[in-house]
Amino acid sequence: MDGDRLLPLIAEYRSAVLSWVGPDGYPASARCHVTWSAEQHERIQLEGVPPPAAGVTGLACLLFHQHDEHLEGLRQMVVKGELTGDGAFIASGVVTANGRPDTDRMPHAGAPLHMLAFLRVGRRASGAYLRKRGEPWPPIPFEEIGRLVTEHNARRG
């Protein structure tokens, strides 16, 4: 299973966001508590199915994420899988936003090697997007954006 080494990190989170697709075709989500054990491995147990998800089976995902009071200390990973009818979630893969198979921590200035790896991944991926786009991205008016952002936040107080 992709991202197998990340599953034990589940134990470090207080809750997860469970998402599924409703009968009307819209996705829906609710917070829940889950239990992971090495013995059960890809079988993640929901500690009570959240009421909006009662009776739901089929494709679903669990998002684990956290940040602090300054939107730092970011961690995030998504476990893809299926909901069974008996309150369990069977994982089929784990994805991180940092492109790494060993940690769900997002890069930050305090970890320069991690930041460099993220830069490499990001530049490669954005280069692929731009090649597919066919035209270069227009110049970005950094100073103008900065001025508008400052004005916006000054108005909000």
Note the residues at the interface with another protein (CB under 8 A): 17, 19-21, 25-31, 50-52, 59-61, 63, 65-72, 76, 78, 80, 95, 97, 109, 119, 121-123, 125-126, 129-130, 137-138, 140-142, 144-146, 148-149, 152-153, 156
State the nearest-atom distance from the C-beta of 40 to another protein, in Å.
22
Q: Which is nearer to another protein, 25 or 39 (CB)?
A: 25
State the nearest-atom distance from the C-beta of 83 to another protein, in Å.
11
Q: Which is nearer to another protein, 36 or 64 (CB)?
A: 64
Distance set, CA 58 to CA 7, 13, 82 (Å): 20, 24, 5
Q: Which is nearer to another protein, 7 or 60 (CB)?
A: 60
Q: Which is nearer to another protein, 86 or 142 (CB)?
A: 142
Segment 32-37 long-range contacts (CB within 8 Å, at least 24 positions apart): 34/10, 34/62, 34/89, 36/7, 36/8, 36/10, 36/11
Residues 115 and 109 sit within 8 Å (Cβ to Cβ)? yes
State the nearest-atom distance from the C-beta of 39 to another protein, in Å.
26
Both tokens assigned to 26: 């819209």
State the nearest-atom distance from the C-beta of 60 to another protein, in Å.
6
